[in-house]
Each structure stands twice: as structure tokens, then as C-alpha cells.
Amino acid sequence: MLKNMVAVVTGAVNGLGRQTLAHFCKENACVFGCDIRDDNGELGKTFGSSVAFLKADVRSEDDMQDVFNQARERFGKVDILVNCAGYSAAFLTITAAGKVFELETFQRLLEVNITGQFNASRLAAVEMAKNKPTEDGDRGVIILTSGFTASSPRRGHAGISACHGGINSMTLPMARDLGPLGIRVATISPGLFATPLTSSIPDDIKEFLEFCQAFPHRFGEPIEYSDLALHIIKNKMINGEVLSIDGGLSLPAK
């Protein structure tokens, strides 16, 4: 499906990003991965010459410009960006004991999740605008990632909810900005997924969370995220939309 296409995937070392990179390779894409962590050469050893990697911080203009420059030098162009890099933290605004949500943590949430995704997306759009359009005028696809706390937050979610809501809110205006260039934008809003981020959740809490979903009563598998990313790329009528993939999750407020 992705033959002759080039994708950049942020947060590519593990979790949803690692699965997306692997899935896109299986679909015959060339993939340039980046992450704030080093992959220690593992991605290249696993996937061969169709994959390249650069350690980079999505918050840094210089780092991400290097990613897109090297992606173009290695593979000739950029057709797809999937933003999987993210940071999550849950803290009460102020606890009963008077401990306040640290401003530094709140700022990091915004910087990684909103600024980082916007930074990568705007630089990707510059590269995609250089592509020769298809017969339909397509030049590229940008996929953002938000999350369930935009619509189903609990206590302690003020920071991450602000991030997810912000990402959702910038989806449509970004799509309208880039539409004249033939670039589509959509956001995937995952619920609870089986990733390293959720692996430390105690079994009793995990069971409770699973049954907060209408169906199925389990955490999502990363391949279900990457399947949706592929569908967005394939279906040209998906643009400016936020697509939830959460099994009908509805969490209580507390």
C-alpha cells in the first residue's frame, strides 16, 4: 500500500511509534524514525536499509530540521508524518496536603505534546509542498496524536487534557492551512493502549479501566493504532478530523 512512499515517525523507539514504523515497513514504505532516546542501531538491524534513524527532540527546531533534511537526503522526499512522540503526567492542581502541580511539569507537557507536534508538522509540510502532486493533487499526509483525556478526563488530568484538547483543536485549522498545498491533516485520539507507558499499571486498576470501555474490555494493541494511521493515508476524504480509537471509553471523574 505504501510502496514508493516515505514516512517520518516521531517517538519511534517504542510503543505506538515503534509499531507504526514496523507496520509501514511491512507495507513497503521507507521510514525515517526519530526519538529523544537513542535506538542503538536496533531499528536498522531489524528492518534493514528501508529504515533510518536520528536521535532528536521534537521540541527543537534544529533537531527536527535535521530529521527532515536527512530523510530527504536518504530517501528523496517526505510523504507522511506520524507524530507519536509524547509525554504524559497526572497531578492534582493542588493536593489536600497543599502540594501544587509544578509549573515545570505543566510546561514540559505543553512543549512535548503541542509544541513538539506542531514543530514537526510545520517542517514536514515544507518538505511535502516540494512533492510533485498526484493526479488528485495529493502531496502528503500529517497525522497528529492526542488522547482520551480531551473528552474523558479524571482528577489529575488538567495538564495532559490541555495538551490533548489543544492538539484536537489545531487539527482542522492546520488542515485548512495546508489544503491548498494538497496536504491532509488528521488526528488519532487513542484510549488506553498496551505500551510501555501503561505496563506498570497494577492489575486491579487495569481491570477497572478495561471495563470502563463499552467494548472490547481490554487495552488497545499498538497495531490497531497503526492500522488506523494506514487507513487515514489511504482514505483521501479523511481530513481535518479527530478519530477516536478507545473502545467507547468513559472514565468516572474520580
In sequence order, what E strands does 133-214 have? Answer: 140-145, 183-190
- pLDDT beyond 80 at 254: no
Is 253 part of any domain? no
- Chain centroid to Cα 149, Å, comes to 15
Taking only the tens place, the pLDDT of each residue in 223-248 is: 999 999 999 999 999 999 999 999 99
Is 199 part of any domain? yes
Could you tell me if residue 245 is left (phi over 0), alpha (psi between -120 and 50 degrees) or otherwise beta? beta
How many helices (H) and strands (E) would you count in the chain? 8, 7
SS3 7: strand
Is 108 part of any domain? yes
Taking only the tens place, the pLDDT of each residue in 71-125 is: 999 999 999 999 999 999 999 999 999 999 999 999 999 999 999 999 999 999 9
pLDDT for the residue 58: 98
Q: Rounded mean pLDDT of 36-43? A: 96
Is 254 part of any domain? no
Confidence of residue 253 (pLDDT cuts 50, 70, 90): confident
Is 223 part of any domain? yes
pLDDT for the residue 75: 98
Contacts of 146 (CB under 8 A, 6+ apart): 163, 164, 165, 167, 168, 187, 188, 189, 242
CA–CA gap between residue 85 and residue 57 (Å, rounded) = 9
* Residue-number span of the structural domain to which 204 is assigned: 6-245
Burial class of residue 30, CB neighbours in 10 A (0-12, 13-18, 19+): buried
Is 251 part of any domain? no
pLDDT for the residue 188: 98
Give the sign of the dihedral formed by CA 192, CA 193, CA 198, CA 202.
positive
- Total count of domains within the chain: 1
CATH code, domain with 111 = 3.40.50.720
Closest CA to 20 of 94, 83, 70: 83
Taking only the tens place, the pLDDT of each residue in 167-225 is: 999 999 999 999 999 999 999 999 999 998 888 889 998 999 999 999 999 999 999 99
pLDDT for the residue 200: 84
Judge if the upstream peptide bond of residue 216 is cis by omega within 30 degrees of 0.
yes
Order of strands, edge to edge, in the sheet holding 140-145? 51-55, 30-35, 6-10, 80-82, 140-145, 183-190, 241-245
